[in-house]
Amino acid sequence: MRRSTLTLPAIALTGALALTACGSGADDGPVTLRFLSLAWQTDSVEANERLVAEWNEAHPDVQVEYVQGSWDNVNDQLMTGFEAGDPPDIIHNDSPALADFAGRGYLADLTEYLPEDLKSDIRPEAWETATFDDQIVGVPFLQESQVFIANRKLLEEAEVRIPTPDDPWTWDEFAEASEKLTDDDTYAVAWPLGSPVNRVLNLSLNYGGTFFEVDGEGRASAKMGDAELEVLRRIHDQLYTDETADPATVGMSGSDPLPAFFAEEYAMVQTGVYARQQVAEQAPDDFDWVTIPPLVGDTAEQGATSQTLSVAADSANPEQAAEFISFFLNAENQVDLALGDWLVPTSQEAAAAPELNTEENDWHVATASAEDLVFAPYLRVQGFDEWKTRVAQPALEEYFNDRISLEELSERLETEGDDVLSRYN
C-alpha cells in the first residue's frame, strides 16, 4: 500500500494550492477584494458596512468583502499577512505605521491610480502623512486634533475666559487658568498619559519640537533640544510643580478620567476630539461641557496622524482596490465617516459640510482645528514604532511618574533612541 505515504503530502499540497488560488483572485468572474477595516464605534462600523454594500451593489464585478480588524493587533496581523504573501487587499491603518511598511515594500504606490479630484480635495498636509519617497502609499481620511474638554460651569465660576477657535488659549494662559481652577477638591486638568508618545510628539510642534533629524539618505537620528522639551516640561510642571493636574490620571488612557470629570473632580480633560462622543453620550443630562480648542505655543500647529486606507503591494487588483478607496473616501462619504468616528475629515469639501460646522457637540471647534494640523516629521522615521515602544513609552512613563528628571529623559530618548534607529539605517 503506497497510499499511506502519499496521502498527507498530497493533502498539504492541495491546501497550498487552494491558498494560492484564494490569494490571486480568479481572472474570470468577479474580482473579490478583502477590506480590513478597523472601525469600532457603532456608528462608524455602520457607515463602513453601508458604504461597502453600496459599492457592491453598483459594481457586480468588483466585490468587496468587509473584514473586521482591531487597532490592538493590526500591525502584528498585517506583518504576518504580508510575510505570508496573503495580506488583505485594502488596509485600514494609521499613518505612523506606514513608514515601516512602505520601507519594506509592502504597500502599493497609488499615485497613478487615484483620480485628480480626490488628490486636490484632500489637504496637502494630510497627503504628506501618507507619502514616502514620492509614493502615495495610503489615502488619509480622518485626523485627530488634541483638545481639552471642559466643564463650562467650573470655568465660569472661576471667572476664566472661555477660548474660541478665533481666540484660543496660549500654553501660558492655560497654566494660569489651571491655577484658578484648582482648589481643595478639584484639579484643573486630567492628563491621561497612559500612551503618551504620539500625543506629546504632536503637541510639541507648538514649540517646533521635531524629535528627529532625517538626513538626505533617509537615515534618522534622535534629536533633543529645548524645543522638544518644552511641552514635556509644561505637562510635568502641572503635575508636580503647580499641582494643577492630578498625578493619578497619568497611568490612564483616553477616556478613563471621564467618570471623575463628570463628578467635577476635574475641570478639564485632555483628549482627542473623538472623545466628544463619549462625553455627549455619557455625561449627566445637566452637564454643560465645552471643547477648548488646541493651545498655542510659538505656533498653533499640531502634528497629526491620519487614519489611512492603503493597498497591499501583493494585491492582484491594485487598480480596482484604488477605485474602491476613491469611492469610499469621496467628500460625501468622508462626512459620514467623520460623523461616525467624531473625527476631522481630510477632505476640504467634507470639512465645509454643514453637519460638521454646527455648534452642536462643538463640531465647529473640532473642524476648525484641522487647519492647524500639519505633518509631523516622526512619521517619516523608519523604526519609529520600535523607538516608541522600546524607548519613548517607558521613558515617558517614568518621567510623568516623576521617577526621572527631564535631563535624564532627554538623554535616554537620544542615546537609547539612536541605538534603536541604527538598526533600521
- Rounded CA-CA distance 17/36 in Å is 23
Smallest separation, CB 235 to another protein (Å): 18
Residue 79 CB-density burial (10 A; 0-12 exposed, 13-18 middle, 19+ buried):
middle
Take residue 391 and report the three cell numbers written for it.
Answer: 524607548
Q: How many CB atoms lie within 10 A of CB 195?
A: 14
Identity of the residue, 9 or 354, whose beta carbon is nearer to another protein in the bound complex = 9
Identity of the residue, 38 or 420, whose beta carbon is nearer to another protein in the bound complex = 420
Smallest separation, CB 100 to another protein (Å): 8
Nearest residue to 367 (alpha-carbon basis) of 180, 147, 198, 45: 147
Smallest separation, CB 183 to another protein (Å): 20
AA letter at 78: L
CB 348 within 8 A of CB 121: yes
Smallest separation, CB 101 to another protein (Å): 9
Helices (H) and strands (E) in the chain — how many of each? 19, 16
Identity of the residue, 159 or 185, whose beta carbon is nearer to another protein in the bound complex = 185
Identity of the residue, 153 or 390, whose beta carbon is nearer to another protein in the bound complex = 390
Identity of the residue, 280 or 313, whose beta carbon is nearer to another protein in the bound complex = 313
Q: What is the chain's percent helix, strand, coil content, to nearest 5? A: 50, 20, 30
Q: DSSP class of residue 299?
A: S
Residues lying near another protein in the complex (CB under 8 A): 1, 4-5, 7-9, 12, 75-76, 79-80, 82-83, 100, 103-106, 194, 248, 251, 256, 259, 313-314, 383, 385-386, 389-390, 393-394, 397-398, 401, 403, 423
Identity of the residue, 155 or 421, whose beta carbon is nearer to another protein in the bound complex = 421
Smallest separation, CB 394 to another protein (Å): 3
CB 109 within 8 A of CB 102: no
Q: DSSP class of residue 160?
A: P
Smallest separation, CB 83 to another protein (Å): 6
Smallest separation, CB 403 to another protein (Å): 8
**CA dihedral in degrees (45, 49, 50, 56; nearest 10)?**
160
Identity of the residue, 158 or 316, whose beta carbon is nearer to another protein in the bound complex = 316
Identity of the residue, 256 or 349, whose beta carbon is nearer to another protein in the bound complex = 256
- Rounded CA-CA distance 250/397 in Å is 8
Smallest separation, CB 358 to another protein (Å): 33
| Buried/exposed code over 99-134 (b: 16+ C-beta within 10 A; e: otherwise) | bbbbbeebbbbbeebbeeebeebbbebbbbbbbbee
Identity of the residue, 8 or 58, whose beta carbon is nearer to another protein in the bound complex = 8
- Rounded CA-CA distance 109/315 in Å is 12
Smallest separation, CB 265 to another protein (Å): 13
Take residue 387 and report the three cell numbers written for it.
Answer: 523607538
Smallest separation, CB 251 to another protein (Å): 5
The Cα-based distances of 190 to 168, 264, 363, 382, 384 in angstroms read 19, 11, 22, 32, 27
Contacts of 186 (CB under 8 A, 6+ apart): 154, 264, 265, 266, 267
Identity of the residue, 160 or 239, whose beta carbon is nearer to another protein in the bound complex = 239
Take residue 145 and report the three cell numbers written for it.
Answer: 486634533
